[in-house]
C-alpha cells in the first residue's frame, strides 16, 4: 500500500513537470506568433480575449469576484511606485490606442457598458463614499483645469459646446420644460442664499465675461447681436403698448402712453447728439458738419466780406419772439 502511494505521488510529480513543460512550450509558441502578427490580427486577438474576460466576469459569483479583486489588490500593493507608474502609463497608452481604432458600434457598446457599471456602482455607494468620490473628482478636475494649455482649453470648450448643442437639438418639449424649470429653481435658490460678497463677485465675473466676448466678436456677430436686441425690444414695446392701450385708448392722442413714450424716446435720442453753434451765422449744427471748431462748412466756403449769413450782413434774426416760445411740440 505504501509502495502504491509512492508510485502515485511520483506519477503526479512527473505529470506536473510535464504539464509545466507543455505550458512553457505553448507560451513560447504564442509569444513567437505575437511577434510576427499584424496590427489587425493583434486587434482581433485582444478583442477576443476581452470578450472572454467580460463573459467570465458576468458569470462569476460574488465570492469569486472578491477573490479576484483581492489578488489584484495584493499584487498592486507589492509593486514599487516606479513599476506602478510605468504600468498605469502603459495601460493608458493601450487604452488610448484602442479608443482611436474602435468603430462607431464598438464605441457605443463601450460607452453603454461603462455607463451601466458606473450607474450600478453609484447606486450601491454610501453617503460617505459619495462625498469622498465627489471631493476627489472636484480636486482632480480643478488640478486638470489649472494645468491645461490654451489649445486644450479651447478644444475642451468646443467639445462641450458641440455635445450641449446636440443634446439641446434632440430633446423633446417636455424635456426642455423640465430642464428649464430645474435650472430656474436652482438659480433662484442660489441667488436667494448668496451673500453680498458673492453677488458682487458674480456680477464682476459676468461683466468681465461680457466685455471679453464683446471685444472678440466680429462685425457680423455684432450686427446680428444688435439686430436680435432690436427685435426683442420691439416685441417688448409692442406687448407693453398693447397692455397700456387698453387703459388709455379713449384718451387724447398726446395723453396716450405710446405717444408719450415715443416723444420721450425722440427727445432722448435728440439730447444724445452733440450740437455746435457757428460763430458766424449763429446756426446750430451737429459736430459732423463743422469743419473747424467754431465755423460751419457753409461759412467756411463763403470767401466774401462780410459773409452772407453773418451778423455784419444783418442776417441775425435775434431772439425768438414771445409768441413763438410757447409753441407745442
Kindly report, residue by residue over 230-263, the tens digit of the pLDDT: 988 888 887 776 666 555 566 677 777 777 888 8
Query: Are 278 and 295 spatial neighbours (Cβ–Cβ below 8 Å)?
Result: yes
**Higher-pLDDT residue of 5, 100:** 100
CA torsion angle for 22, 23, 25, 27 (degrees, to 10)? 170
Grid cell at residue 130: 459619495
For 39-50, how does the pLDDT look when each residue is reduced to its tens digit (9 = 90+)? 888 888 888 888
From 276, 303, 304, select the one nearest 291 (Cα to Cα).
276
pLDDT averaged over every residue in the chain: 83
Give bridge partners of residue 276 from the DSSP assignment.
285
- Tell me the pLDDT tens digit for each residue of 290-301: 555 678 888 888
Q: What mean pLDDT do residues 218-236 have?
A: 88
Can you give the pLDDT at residue 12?
53
**Tens digit of pLDDT for each residue in 35-74?**
888 888 888 888 888 888 888 888 888 888 888 888 888 8
Q: With 50 as the cut, is the pLDDT of residue 4 above it? A: no
Lowest mean pLDDT among 128-132, 176-180, 253-257, 286-290: 286-290
Question: Which H helix or E strand runs over 285?
Answer: strand 284-286
How far is 234 from 262, CA to CA, in rounded Å? Answer: 12
Give me the pLDDT at residue 181, please. 92
Per-residue pLDDT reduced to its tens digit, 316-327: 877 777 777 666
Q: What is each CA distance from 15 to 25, 95, 160, in whole angstroms? A: 15, 40, 61
d(CA 56, CA 52): 6
Contact (CB, 8 A) for 297 and 288: no
pLDDT band, residue 158 (cuts 50/70/90)? very high
**CA nearest neighbour of 62 among 52, 70, 51:** 70
pLDDT above 80 (res 328) = no
C-beta of residue 37 within 8 angstroms of C-beta of residue 45:
yes
Closest CA to 309 of 282, 287, 291: 282
Instruction: Return d(Cα 9, Cα 13) in angstroms, integer.
Output: 6
pLDDT at 320: 74
- Whether residue 172 has pLDDT greater than 60: yes
Stronger pLDDT, 216 or 326, i.e. the higher one: 216
What are the residue ranges spanned by the domains of the chain? 228-272, 274-318
What is the reported pLDDT for 249?
A: 60
Amino acid at each position: 500500500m505504501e509502495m502504491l502511494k509512492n508510485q502515485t505521488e511520483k506519477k503526479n510529480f512527473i505529470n506536473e513537470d510535464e504539464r509545466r513543460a507543455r505550458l512553457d512550450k505553448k507560451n513560447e509558441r504564442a509569444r513567437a506568433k505575437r511577434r510576427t502578427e499584424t496590427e489587425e490580427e493583434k486587434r482581433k486577438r485582444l478583442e477576443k480575449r476581452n470578450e472572454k474576460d467580460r463573459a467570465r466576469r458576468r458569470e462569476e459569483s460574488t465570492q469569486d469576484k472578491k477573490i479576484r479583486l483581492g489578488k489584484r489588490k495584493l499584487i498592486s500593493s507589492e509593486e514599487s511606485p516606479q513599476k506602478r507608474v510605468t504600468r498605469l502609463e502603459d495601460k493608458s497608452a493601450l487604452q488610448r490606442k484602442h479608443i482611436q481604432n474602435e468603430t462607431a458600434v464598438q464605441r457605443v457598446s463601450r460607452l453603454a457598458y461603462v455607463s451601466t457599471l458606473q450607474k450600478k456602482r453609484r447606486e450601491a455607494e454610501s453617503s460617505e463614499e459619495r462625498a469622498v468620490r465627489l471631493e476627489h473628482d472636484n480636486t482632480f478636475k480643478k488640478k486638470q483645469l489649472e494645468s491645461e494649455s490654451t489649445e486644450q482649453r479651447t478644444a475642451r470648450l468646443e467639445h462641450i459646446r458641440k455635445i450641449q448643442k446636440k443634446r439641446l437639438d434632440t430633446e423633446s418639449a417636455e424635456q426642455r420644460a423640465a430642464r428649464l424649470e430645474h435650472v430656474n429653481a436652482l438659480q433662484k435658490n442660489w441667488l436667494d442664499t448668496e451673500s453680498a460678497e458673492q453677488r458682487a463677485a458674480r456680477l464682476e465675473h459676468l461683466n468681465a465675461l461680457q466685455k471679453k466676448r464683446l471685444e472678440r466678436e466680429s462685425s457680423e456677430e455684432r450686427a446680428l447681436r444688435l439686430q436680435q436686441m432690436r427685435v426683442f425690444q420691439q416685441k417688448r414695446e409692442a406687448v407693453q403698448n398693447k397692455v397700456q392701450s387698453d387703459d388709455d385708448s379713449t384718451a387724447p392722442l398726446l395723453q396716450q402712453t405710446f405717444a408719450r413714450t415715443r416723444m420721450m424716446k425722440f427727445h432722448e435720442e435728440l439730447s444724445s447728439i452733440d450740437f455746435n453753434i457757428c460763430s458766424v451765422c449763429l446756426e446750430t449744427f451737429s459736430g459732423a458738419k463743422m469743419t473747424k471748431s467754431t465755423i460751419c462748412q457753409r461759412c467756411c466756403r463763403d470767401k466774401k466780406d462780410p459773409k452772407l449769413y453773418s451778423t455784419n450782413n444783418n442776417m441775425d434774426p435775434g431772439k425768438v419772439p414771445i409768441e413763438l416760445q410757447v409753441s407745442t411740440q
